[in-house]
Amino acid sequence: MSEAPLDTTTSTQATVVPPTAQRNSGLLSTGVGRNLGLVVALVVLCIVGAVTAGDTFATGPNVLTILRLAATIGVVSIGMTFVITGGGIDLSVGAILALSSVWATTLATQQMADSYGWIVMASTALLVGAACGLVNGILVAYGKIVPFIATLAMLAAARGLAETISDRRTQIVANNSFVDFFGGSLIGVPVLVWIFLLVAAAGWVVLNRTTFGRRTFAVGGNAEAARLAGIKVQRHTAALYVLAGLCCGIAAVMLMARTTTGSSTHGQFYELDAIAAVVIGGTLLSGGRGTIVGTVFGVLIFSTLNNVFTLNNLSISAQSVAKGVIIVIAVLLQQRLASRTTSS
Amino acid sequence: MSEAALLTMTGIVKEFPGVRALDGVDLDVRAGEVHCLLGQNGAGKSTLIRVLTGAHQPDAGAIQIDGEDVQLNSPTAAIDRGIAAIYQELDLVPGLSVAENIFLGHEPSTFGFSRRHEAALRAREILEGLGHGEIPVRREVGSLPAAGQQVVSMARALSRDARLIVMDEPSAVLDPEEVANLFRVIKGLTERGVAVVYISHRLEEIREIGDRVTVLKDGATVATGLDARETPTQELIRLMTGRSIEYVFPPRAEILSTAPVVLSVEGLSRPGEFAEISFDVRAGEIVGFAGLVGSGRSEVLETVYGARRAATGSVHVDGKRLKPGRVQSAVKAGVGLAPEERKSQALLMDEAVFKNITVSSMERFASVGFLNRTAERQVATQLAESLDVRPPGVDRPVRNLSGGNQQKVVLARWLLRDCRVLLLDEPTRGVDVGARSEIYALVRKLAASGVAIVLVSSEVEEVLGLADRVVVLREGQAVHTGPAQDIDEHQVLDLVMEGSSV
């Protein structure tokens, strides 16, 4: 059961790659090579974990812990994959998550949840997330503000608003049915992990099999060509940020369940973790090329690394250094692969 | 011009995985001559230039400068040997001043502090030597027109004491007047003993400025040391293509006056670009726009398409008015645009051919947002086959296709939408001689199927050969409208240059 999530990702990959192989031998080498590198990295990490902390690392409960921790940042990263593939960037994800969690745990919201059920809290978080995303989208697409600046402003504003609403206090989730549902398990796998899987699967389908996904690649790859081909570039760009905001809302629900709190300090540095996961997964920071499978691997690699370090009683600071090194190696490898395939 | 060779390249071979880009190229260049390099796209000109400037290392062959064997291991090594190149896409830093660009990488300095005054003086000196003392050395390069930037590029080469300057299609971005200026600069250079390797597709330029010609075909030298003025055009084309044909324009069809007017443009204006442009295009008709760079030809086309918003005037397709400034409105009404800059304005270079073809008709292949990729691929394959896109197969990235085949992909995109109106901006730019006739035949076939076509081209011959009716633009004004048969190349050139050439 502990391997179920991993199996799903590898099997999706397996079904994706063969058609690519027939279509284009040039891209095949990048596609397989890149994902192969990620698989190898993950396996190496697991081996290191098993050797250094075998008795605790290679246990079912520990694997579930890794996955549960991966789930929240994973959902944020899926949204980020869309934004980056579409040629943008979203620095405000962590702040939006914090604001969503705070708004969904105010006294008023929780009182409503008492009469109408936890769905009120969940949908509040989702709505707040999507609304923040919409503001981002409008600023970027219609206000023509560069994404970096627009979302930086949102980062500051959303966290500030979260502090104002919560008065900088941590708000406890009092609704037991909420904690019970999201904190529970389904067929032995935590609900949080299921949500991550669902979001990742949906993200993959949308990005690779729908007009929305195709337009995302077109807008990110060449916005001018997309516009002249008749694609509504502005509307699509706005939609990408809404999607990212929605993912933050979902992640807020997940974090509220895990910590049983809503707080303006939730989601600190999530933007950096998400961007790192997306980029080591193989999505181009300049847009036009993106991979959900890669992002999922990126997230798993970082959370496994986290786990291995924690089990070995290594400091958070050491983890950060290792993370930095991994990002650099991953990007260097990618560039090597990319230049090899373009010159052939 | 001296008889001794400044540069000799013999048997140069360069292989990339799967391709032999250069397969035995010989080239010798003498000091003080303009040596023209001719060849179709893909003949190996660019690769040869990269080898010469140290960007690529040859797999075999020898390079000699002044009779001495040299290795050009890096761009710096080439610069040190006095070789400089001026590329089509100029490699200047737009935010730096003219003087800073000229001395980029070797600024006059003391202990790391640049001597700005000296740099400015020396820059002015070099520019004056090029006959362009009027270019202000402290001005930002990005604010100069293309011709001015080119001069700065040349000044930079000279500041490094270049003895051989490679110019890759330097006239492509210039007006005839500016080209004349460029030629004066080149003459000045050669008089000082600098050798110029000149690449151009325009034979008339080679006749005017060139001394000797080397022809490349399929990565090998097929002829070298030809006299640039005396060698007959037929001979040069035969060497380049292996056959001796010039462009073949398909015969015109008769446009019945009963054919419905599909596109109707009335009083279209954009201040500073063009004014009061009106024309009708009937089903099956090709209307061509001729004019210089800056005459407003492309702007008119983009305004009709809605990519620019018209200040006044209207565009009707099949009697229905298009919303100004709205591309979607035009696309919905059945208008397609094949823009001038194919790579940056039309194509998703890294995406597969079929995705580029279906990008404007995705709804056709989608049910509740889900794409039917099998159907997409099938339809795209049929289209690609009918347009003879080579190499066949719709799954390779568009980047790997030649210019002509990329253009076919753009046309296929609009064919798939059953376009009523097709706007073609420079349809054969970057398309080699052999593929041009194919594009011409294709455009005529499209017209014959009832599409109304508007053609914009900087090549007068192309407009006159392909279009049924011609509109001549000068400085944003339509100065002539009439059947293409009733006017010849000289008359058109007279019209477009009148006033501006004196």
**What CATH class has B5-241?**
alpha beta
Cβ pair A225:B400 closer than 8 A:
no
Q: What is the pLDDT of residue B88?
A: 67
CB–CB of B51/B12 below 8 Å?
yes
B positions 373-432 inside 8 Å of A (CB): 373, 395-397, 400, 413
If you count them, how many residues does chain A have? 344
In 3D, which of B242, B232, B175, B160 has the Cα closest to residue B203?
B232
Which amino acid is present at B120?
A: A
What is the dotted CATH code of the domain comprising B259-334+419-502?
3.40.50.300
The CATH number of the domain holding residue A259 is 1.10.3470
Compute CA distances A53 → A41, A100, A299, A308, A325, whole Å.
Answer: 18, 37, 21, 8, 22
Full-model pTM: 0.75
**Residue A23 within a domain:** no
**Structural domain range at position A158:** 35-343
CB–CB of B350/B294 below 8 Å?
no
Region of poorest pLDDT, from A2-16, A72-86, B123-137, B359-373: A2-16
**Residue A4 within a domain:** no
B28: Cβ–Cβ under 8 A, 6 or more apart, which residues? Answer: B5, B7, B8, B9, B224, B225
B positions 293-352 inside 8 Å of A (CB): 305, 307, 327-328, 331-332, 337, 339, 344-352
The interface predicted TM-score of the complex, written ipTM, equals: 0.77
Q: What is the pLDDT of residue B89?
A: 65
- Mind listing the pLDDT tens digit for each residue in A66-105? 999 999 999 999 999 999 999 999 999 999 999 999 999 9
CB–CB of A30/A341 below 8 Å?
yes
d(CA A177, CA A215): 40
Distance from CA of B376 to the nearest CA of A (A): 12
- Mind listing the pLDDT tens digit for each residue in B388-405? 888 888 999 998 888 888
d(CA A320, CA A65): 20
Partnered with residue B20 across adjacent β-strands are B15
- Of A26, A230, A288, which has the smallest distance from its Cβ to B360's Cβ? A230
Helix, strand, coil % over all residues of chain A, rounded to 5: 80, 5, 15
Q: For residue A106, count CB atoms less than 10 angstroms from its CB and return exposed for 0-12, middle for 13-18, buried for 19 or more.
A: middle
d(CA B451, CA B260): 11
Residue A168 phi, psi dihedral angles, 5° rounding: 60, 20
Distance from CA of B260 to the nearest CA of A (A): 26
pLDDT bracket for residue A336 (50, 70, 90): confident
Q: Which two tokens stand for residue B395?
A: 């799954």
d(CA B139, CA B130): 18
d(CA B406, CA B357): 10
**Residue A198 within a domain:** yes
- Check pLDDT > 60 for residue B35: yes
If you count them, how many residues does chain B have? 502
Chain B residues in contact with A27 (beta carbon < 8 A): 397
Neighbours of A60 (CB within 10 A): 11
- Check pLDDT > 60 for residue A7: no
Cβ pair A344:B16 closer than 8 A:
yes
Q: Which two tokens stand for residue B117?
A: 């005054």
Distance from CA of B348 to the nearest CA of A (A): 6
pLDDT bracket for residue B319 (50, 70, 90): very high
Region of poorest pLDDT, from B48-62, B174-188, B399-413: B174-188
d(CA A81, CA A294): 10
Mean pLDDT comparison of A249-253, A281-285, B113-117, B330-334, highest-scoring range: A249-253
Cβ pair B360:A229 closer than 8 A:
yes
Q: What is the pLDDT of residue B117?
A: 86
Region of poorest pLDDT, from A112-116, B32-36, B270-274, B429-433: B429-433
What residue ranges do the domains of chain B occupy? 5-241, 259-334+419-502, 349-418
Do the domains at B5-241 and B259-334+419-502 have one common CATH topology? yes
Chain B residues in contact with A211 (beta carbon < 8 A): 362-363, 366, 369, 371
- Check pLDDT > 70 for residue A29: no
The upper half-sphere exposure of residue B422, i.e. CA atoms within 13 Å in the direction of its Cβ, equals 31
- Sheet of strand B320-321, all strands in order from the earlier edge strand to the far edge: B274-282, B261-270, B312-317, B320-321
Chain A residues in contact with B349 (beta carbon < 8 A): 221-222
Number of compact structural domains in chain A: 1
More confident residue, B3 or B212: B212
Residue with tokens 């059961």: A1
Average pLDDT on A332-340 reads 69
Touching check for A226 and chain B: CB below 8 Å? Answer: yes
pLDDT bracket for residue B500 (50, 70, 90): very low
Average pLDDT on A193-218 reads 95
Cis peptide before B391 (omega within 30 of 0): yes
**Residue A57 within a domain:** yes
pLDDT bracket for residue A21 (50, 70, 90): very low
Cβ pair B362:A211 closer than 8 A:
yes
Touching check for A288 and chain B: CB below 8 Å? Answer: yes
In 3D, which of B421, B222, B47, B344 has the Cα closest to residue A224?
B344
pLDDT bracket for residue B246 (50, 70, 90): low
- Check pLDDT > 70 for residue A231: yes
- Check pLDDT > 80 for residue B471: yes
- Check pLDDT > 60 for residue B58: yes
pLDDT bracket for residue B474 (50, 70, 90): confident
Percentage of chain B exceeding pLDDT 70: 94
Touching check for A28 and chain B: CB below 8 Å? Answer: no
**Residue A30 within a domain:** no
Q: Which two tokens stand for residue A206?
A: 């949308």
- Mind listing the pLDDT tens digit for each residue in B165-199? 999 888 777 777 788 888 988 998 899 899 999 98
Find the closest chain A residue to B16 by CA distance: A344
**Residue A248 within a domain:** yes
- Check pLDDT > 50 for residue A232: yes
Most A CBs within 10 A among B329, B354, B355, B359, hence the mutation to make, goes to: B359
d(CA A85, CA A89): 9
Cβ pair A221:B351 closer than 8 A:
yes
A333: Cβ–Cβ under 8 A, 6 or more apart, which residues? Answer: A37
**Antiparallel, parallel or unpaired: β B452-456 and B286-290:** parallel
- Mind listing the pLDDT tens digit for each residue in B251-269? 887 777 788 999 999 999 9
Q: What is the pLDDT of residue B421?
A: 95
